[in-house]
Amino acid sequence: MDGITLAAIGWPEIVGIIIVVLVIFGAGRLAGVGKALGTGVREFRQEARKPGQEGEEDEEAAVQQASAASSEEKA
């Protein structure tokens, strides 16, 4: 195991792995997996944006409160 590292994987090895996967699963099945993966990523991004929008509003409110508090301390 001392001689095996992930850095030793180059383009020829990656191409070989892709060919083996195509032979085992077939192009049609891989297309379905790719479509499902793309749909999952798209749904994840849509859901990830929703809390981000709320978080930005919370962040803006926190900044306003902090600036109001600092201006009160100076006065």
Query: Where do runs of H (alpha helix) occur along the chain?
Result: 11-25, 27-74
Instruction: Encode pLDDT of 40-57 as tens digits.
Output: 999 999 888 876 555 455
- Please give the pLDDT value at position 53: 56
- Please give the pLDDT value at position 15: 92
- Please give the pLDDT value at position 43: 93
Distance CA 69, CA 14 (A): 57
**In the chain, what are the domains?**
11-74 (1.20.5)
- Please give the pLDDT value at position 1: 47
pTM reported for the whole predicted model: 0.40
Residue 15 has which token pair?
């191409």
Q: Which residue has the higher pLDDT, 37 or 63?
A: 37
